[in-house]
Structure 1
């Protein structure tokens, strides 16, 4: 097994840039505000949790590597306190509004980022009609002239609520009990959903509920839980959906035909995800055909999907970030679990990742294969 000392030596070759930070508590949230600020939030139950707006160190904000900078740490720009856990947080583009979801899941909370002070204040709540105990609402933002929050625990409870008037502008109107794992707004009129069973659909809100969707759970899924993300046309040669299972199976689908995957691969994960709510698959915004996955262990794996050549084939990652494991060997009895990751919106190979030990890493990986 590779030692921490060996990894540290190898990291000089593997990373263009690497920064490690410790938060006051672990986060499942990494939400961008522009390309220099990011939100984190605690998710502990039955206690108060911080919501922080952090500004990246200057070294990570410039377009080119211009040498040494005096500020090498994050700067806290704004902060607030939530009485509940924060499992998800969305920034409403072009506003100072945030929306959070967590447990107890009986409502969403709306926050305002102060202009003249360094505080994030709770301003309102949005009722959640499904009272599901241990379940919480998935969210996505329609950022139009009147911003709306799309949210739901199950397909039956999906609705869009206007953030200003609190009126419901759209609801699914069905009794479908499919539990949701992710929601994603695609444009002003459409959104995508993924159910925990692997069910995928694309919905046009201009008409009654009639989603373009697959026929149901994959019969070969074996009870696995799934999440998904859609790559838009600006992120690659065409729209594509990546769907990730808790056993490491990864499927690529054309949104025009969700019944038959374009390709399917088995990622070499060390173990099935111990917490499927932490599963995450993300498309690189500045690299064609590259995506990242996490939620299985203390790593983040990056893949170039153009190298996939069949159905359920074994694939190797282009790069694996193992820093959360090796930099915390003496801190915890068990290895930390990556809780979330996100790509930098402008720097092609820069990612942020957070783990259960409250570590936060910013890393720019070197593509040794020059494959994408």
Structure 2
């Protein structure tokens, strides 16, 4: 039975979920794929932890055992894992440490799974090029709307069709806020506060409310699937901060439901893309989203229009999306070809 050594960088809330869930699935990986998957190293911004025989759950839970300074390239050079799962904070200006981790991994022929969106927004093309040049792979379900299948649907399920474009509700926070304003009569501030109390919105919710989260995910998906060459700073963007209870009431009287969407559509020889508030009639799938649900609607020439909705918005959902990538990696590589 082959052993697959996994490193988790950016060992915060999501990184801990990834590690815990991966260890809990170890028996399933042995049964399904004939491999012994183990976490041999984790690191944060200030230190890390390495055990070549695999880290026990209790050691992963004890942050006091981390070695100061064991991070960055020093961590990866000492560890030399087979698979890197990058789950650090997103830096949308430079890519931050996450970009460095992913570049190192792919330049060394590793398989990398990205949860950090910033690195992909800044240099997805470069990362994919590195993967192709050195025999590794880059997967990023956790960065592209997590629990909602997006790249999987567009790039794999629709691979035989001509994709005209897509629109997607990519941020569960905005769905929740707009839904609470419509169904519970809350104002925007109270709806956001409720989302924060339930762990759906971040302590600083502006990134979601102002449309930046949707824009970042749109850039990743459109550039991965359409090679659209979108840049975050150039993308037309609208948020929901200006929506009032009066707007909600007026739209409801007209049978319309607001949703914040990202869209990318073929427009002549190029693409038209952006983030904006769109209004949908009651029969539209996006109008039927509730809670923090998301949705994607793809338009093709041969298969018609396809829509997928659902998906939780929490760290466990994001971790599960990253482990979906890991599961697919094990299945595609096969035990006889894994890291010889």
Q: Verify same fold: TM over 0.5.
A: no
* TM-score normalised by structure 2 residue count: 0.28
Structure having the larger proportion of residues in strand: 1
- Give TM-score, length-normalised by structure 1: 0.26
The structure with the largest helix share of the pair is 2
